[in-house]
Amino acid sequence: MHIPIKNIYYLLSYAWNRLDERDRVAVDIDDKTELLDLFAKILINATKILLKRGIDRNYVERSEHVFGIKGKFEVSQTVKTSSMLSGRTVCTFDNYSENILLNQILVSTLWKLVKTKALDSQPKGNIKGLLWKLSGISRIELTARHFSAVKLNRNNSFYGFVVDVCKLIFENTLPSEDEGEWNFSDFTRNEHKMNQLFERFVFNFYKIEQEEFRVRRENIKWAFDSLVTDGLKYLPKMETDITLESGKRKIIIDAKYYRETMSSYFGGQKIKSANLYQIFSYLINQQTNDQITQTATGILLYPTIEEEFDLNYSFDDHIVRIKTINLNASWKEVDLTLRELVD
């Protein structure tokens, strides 16, 4: 499934909940833009914004040989290094510095882009110019822990978008056969990763773009009574992708990303049975005496770029809908389809 780069960018912006930052970075995208070029453009523009406004700084603890005493006097280190013979001591003190984790993640990712084979020479040249301006920031060997350690506040919230892009590049680059070089892996070809992205996109779209419903993930309890002691604890967890609920209506959406929307059986197309069982199970088990739960709608939502489906079924007072959304259409059409889905 080939989705236009511009639509991938919108999917990511919603999934990360970074719409304001996306508009601020203002990246030009055309039909020739590749995915890696898009991420490079985002980081180039974002870095320029950070440099213009002043990159983030914070107090960083460091130890140095100094003349006299500064901060905390490290007695054992001073004795071990015989520093006092030269009139110096080892001291630990806080230094107000730009060499902090947020900037290190950015710089390390920019360096990786410079060494990534598929990236064009022009963005590489732009990145090298930016790295010269960021020469006071250390390059680090990035790990998942670095991204987990990021702490944002109101003053540095713009870095959230930057770190999201850096993390995506980190997760999708692999060492090349040529030492010191990297290859970028197109994550849009990975069905599992795209399923996670599609689900987060739909969830945040409804959280941001409508006001009628409360949007949440719902834990549904099985409508079973156990005939043995503690039998219920062995039942699997049942959690919806997206539950929309207002004072009058309830909609459960299961967002599924597949390269092929339907399964093929002897030349015919069929709804994927596991998906249908799942949405049906949600509807049956979430029922209470509340009228809203007894009339809840279940929607299986699939992306497509070719054939579209809009199938409707009923069970008791429930509606079950199988709906596709064309991710090859203009973003205005994608937006309209999602809004109409819950109207």
Q: How confident is the model over 168-178, as a mean pLDDT?
A: 90
Domains by residue range for the chain, with CATH: 5-57+99-189 (no CATH), 60-97 (no CATH), 195-342 (3.40.1350)
What does the pLDDT look like over 175-228, one tens digit per residue?
888 888 899 998 988 999 999 999 999 999 999 999 999 999 999 999 999 999
Please give the angle made by the CA atoms of 48, 54 and 60, to the nearest 5 degrees.
120
Give backbone dihedrals phi and psi of 95, rounded to 5 degrees, phi first: -120, 125
Q: What is the pTM of this model?
A: 0.86
CA separation for the pair 10, 21 (Å, rounded) = 12
User: What tens digit of pLDDT does each residue of 78-89 get?
Assistant: 777 766 566 777
DSSP for 169-203, please give it: HHHTEEE-SSTT-EEE--GGG-HHHHHHHHHHHHH
Question: Is the pLDDT assigned to residue 59 strictly greater than 70?
Answer: yes
| 333 touches 326 (CB < 8 A) | yes
Say if residues 285 and 219 touch (Cβ distance below 8 Å).
no
pLDDT digits (tens, 9 = 90+) for 261-316: 777 666 678 888 999 999 999 999 999 999 999 999 999 999 987 788 999 999 99
- Residue 211 CA to residue 307 CA, distance in Å, equals 31
Q: Reduced to 3 states, what is the DSSP secondary structure of residue 263?
A: strand
